[in-house]
Structure 1
Amino acid sequence: MKQTAPANVLIVEDDRDISHLVELHLRDAGYNVDIAYDGADGLERALTKAYDLAILDLNLPGVEGLEICRRLRAKPSYPLILMLTARSSELDRVLGLEIGADDYLIKPFGIRELLARVKALLRRMEARSTSSDLCPEEEKVIRGGPLVIDADKRQVTLSGQDVNLTAKEFDLLFLLACHPARVYTRAQLLDLVWGMGYEGYEHTVNSHINRLRSKIEKNSAHPHYLLTAWGVGYKFASRDTWGDN
């Protein structure tokens, strides 16, 4: 039976007591763990080494956690991000999720809950190791007029020009394009793309759709591909309209 390599986890947390406690329990659970005590070191480590998961405090010296999250999400390949925050306001949580965090925990938190979140995130990553898992069809390259979505390369081009998408933007676009004319609710998209039901944070989907429209539509106010199903959610245009743009 094939052995799965232990996941590589980066902890970016300036509170050394919390860092060492989390490290101890993660190592006991079988993970490889590195620690950074400030944002600059954490960002450098995350950009230079392949991690499966980053446990990231928001309030860091040097470079704040939200900026680290933003920088990582601009890369084609990046780790899962579990945010740790003492900030309890909904605005901070929504902002973190919109930037691209996969989950969050509010301090103080229990170690058992953190380990459960870590395991759930890593299981989801393993179960859906490629974006093609979002699409049950054999088709790996989707062509919609001038828009081309390549699942294996995780690349999108528009009229031959590369479109720079974050990983979550790509996954969202690919899922919708795989099922043209099918309407998804925001809750369904959160569950399928983000992997968890972020109840109360459906605005995250709206923000990603708006950014996608700004990148692939000629006129984002009158979209050709990414359509709104009013009162329900979103859908990708039906195939018979793809060549009209």
Structure 2
Amino acid sequence: MITETSPHPALLVVDDDVRIRNMLARYFEDEGYSVTCAADGREMRSSMKQRNFDAILLDLSLPGGQDGLELAREIRTHSDVPTIMLTGRDDVVDRIVGLEVGADDYLAKPFHLREVHARLKSILRRRGAAPSAARNGPTGQVLVFEGWSLDLNRRELRRSSDEHVELTTGEFDMLTVLVTHAGRVLTRDQLMDMTRGRQLEAFDRAVDAQIVRLRRKIETDPKHPQLVKSVRGIGYVFTGTVERKKD
């Protein structure tokens, strides 16, 4: 049961190294965040039951049988909270897998605190730059396509039945770019530029992984997509008919 809220952006730091936890906590508290720390998956779950978080900094290597990739996957089963993975291994495969399971960004240790903050602020801006307890502002432009409704202000995706479908920050940004450029073929580089501002290297597989996850959520048959189609050797194109509405 969630019982605690805060007027400040709420950050959860999950790392088994007490020095790193304390360093991140001090820095972000000085920057105006409300910071909670956890040493492992058990403490992370306990913290997430107590309050909503605007973002999570999640270490890749954790004790207790579950690493950060497993926890990131677990988080995505019930939450779209932005997640930045922290790791001592600057491994391309780990980075791609982290993005595939739903992480929004990835930083290798040792990192500069200002860079962590810059990445975090960028993600929160894309989310609407509002704390989790206060995201229900007035609605703005809504894009309607093939039985779906994409609210750009609330950052929500709904079916025609009004069922809410959870999207990660990256998934929402990817879908917004595709829908707002309906009928235009976009390369992987263009998709990375438009969604992440090249904060991450434009790995083809990372973009493809985002598309695969999107298809699972919006396509009737993800193996035979009708909305987000591949263009061999180039990239992707959104083929749905889009209507713009003011809500």
Q: Does residue 213 of the first structure (1) align with residue 201 of the second (2)? A: no
Q: Does 1:56 align with 2:58?
A: yes
Larger RCO (CA under 8 A, 6+ residues apart) = 2
Residue 149, structure 1, aligned to residue 149, structure 2: yes
Q: Which among 107, 110, 113 is matched to residue 108 of structure 1?
A: 110
CA distance in 2, matches of 1:174, 1:123: 15
Alignment partner for residue 33 of structure 2, among 21, 31, 34?
Answer: 31
Distance 1:56 1:188 in 2: 28
| 1:26 to partner: Cα distance | 1.4
| Pairs within 5 Å for 1:1-245 | 5-62=7-64, 63-75=66-78, 77-78=80-81, 80-126=82-128, 140-144=142-146, 147-151=147-151, 154-157=156-159, 165-167=166-168, 168-194=170-196, 196-237=198-239, 239=241
Amino acid at match of 1:149: S
Determine helix, strand or coil for the equivalent of 2:159: strand
Superposition TM-score, scaled by structure 2 size = 0.76
After superposition, give the CA deviation of every residue in 1:57-102 in whole Å (9 maximum; x if it has no partner): 0111233211221122233542x21211012221001111122222
Shift of 1:23: 1.2
The TM-score with structure 1 as length reference comes to 0.76
Deviation at 1:196, TM superposition (A): 4.3
Change (3 A) 1:203 1:163: farther
**Stretches of structure 2 lacking an aligned partner (at least 5 in a row):** 1-6, 132-139, 243-247
Count of paired positions: 226
Question: Which one is further off, 49-58 or 188-197?
Answer: 188-197
Q: Which amino acid aligns with 1:92?
A: D
CA distance in 2, matches of 1:234, 1:85: 31
Measured in 2, the distance between the counterparts of 1:214 and 1:9 equals 29
Structure 1: distance between partners of 2:130 and 2:195: 10
Which amino acid counterpart does residue 206 of structure 2 have in structure 1?
T
In the alignment, the residues of structure 1 paired with residue 214 and residue 30 of structure 2 have an alpha-carbon distance, to the nearest angstrom, of: 41
Structure 1 residues 25-57: Cα deviation after superposition (integer angstroms, max 9, x where no partner): 112222211111112111332354211121110
**CA distance in structure 2 between the aligned counterparts of 1:203 and 1:73, rounded to whole angstroms:** 19
Counterpart of 1:56, as a letter, is L
Answer with 88-97 or 102-111: which moved more.
Answer: 102-111
The 1:177/1:126 distance shift into structure 2, 3 A limit, reads: closer
Give the partner amino acid of 1:70: R
Unmatched tracts of structure 1, length 5 or more: 130-137, 241-245
SS at match of 1:188: helix
Write the distance in 1 (CA, Å) between the matches of 2:197 and 2:53: 19
Shift of 1:204: 1.6
Quote the RMSD (CA, aligned, Å).
Answer: 3.2
CA change 1:119–1:148 in 2 (3 A) is closer
Q: Deviations over 1:187-209 (max 9, x none)?
A: 23234334544224231221222
**1: CA distance, partners of 2:226 / 2:11:** 41
Change (3 A) 1:236 1:24: same
Could you report, residue by residue, the CA deviation over 1:103-137 in whole angstroms, capped at 9, with x for unpaired residues? 222112233333333334334434599xxxxxxxx
1:140 counterpart SS class: strand
